[in-house]
Amino acid sequence: MKTILRIALALVILLPTGLAAGAQVPLPQEEKTIQGIPVSDYYLMPEFTDGMIFFEGQGPAQGKLNICTLDHTLRFLDRDGKELAAKDEDAIVKVRIDTVFFLRSQGYYYRLFPVNPEAGAALLKEVSIRREVKQGAYGTSSETSSVKEYDIIYADGVAYGIDRQYPYKVSETVALYKGNKVMALSKKNFRKLFPEKKAEIDAYFQAGHPLPESLEETLALLRQFEE
Residue 133 counted as domain residue: yes
User: Residue 219: is its pLDDT beyond 60?
Assistant: yes
In a domain? residue 25: no
Beta-bridge partners for 81:
none
Q: Identify the band that residue 215 occupies on the pLDDT scale cut at 50, 70 and 90.
A: very high
Mean local confidence (pLDDT), 6-31: 39
Query: Element (H or E) spanning 8, and its range?
Result: helix 2-14
Contact by Cβ (8 Å): 108, 171: no
- Residue 53 in this model has a pLDDT that exceeds 60: yes
12 vs 72, higher pLDDT: 72
Q: Is residue 172 included in any domain, yes or no?
A: yes
Stretch 78-97: mean pLDDT = 92
Total tally of structural domains belonging to the chain: 1
Per-residue confidence (pLDDT) for residue 34, from 0 to 100: 82
Instruction: Kindly report the average pLDDT of the chain as a whole number.
Output: 76
Asked if the model's pLDDT at residue 108 lies above 60, the reply is yes
- Look at residue 77 and tell me if it is in a domain: yes
Task: Supply the pLDDT for residue 61.
Answer: 93
Residues 148-169 have a mean pLDDT of 43
Q: How far is CA 127 from the centre of its chain?
A: 10
pLDDT of 40 higher than 90: no
pLDDT in tens, 123-140: 999 988 765 544 443 333
| 16 occurs within a structural domain | no
Q: For 182-208, what is each residue's pLDDT tens digit?
A: 999 999 999 999 999 999 999 999 999
Whether 74 maps to a domain, the answer reads: yes
Q: What is the dihedral of CA 187, 190, 194, 197, to 10 degrees?
A: -30
Domain residue limits at 120? 33-201+210-219
User: Distance (Å, rounded) from C-alpha 144 to C-alpha 215?
Assistant: 37
Model pTM above 0.85: no
Q: For residue 192, is it within any domain?
A: yes
Does residue 75 form part of some domain? yes
The residues that bridge with 30 in the sheet, in sequence order, are none
pLDDT score of 181 more than 50: yes
Q: How confident is the model at residue 155 (pLDDT cuts 50, 70, 90)?
A: very low
Neighbours of 18 (CB within 10 A): 10
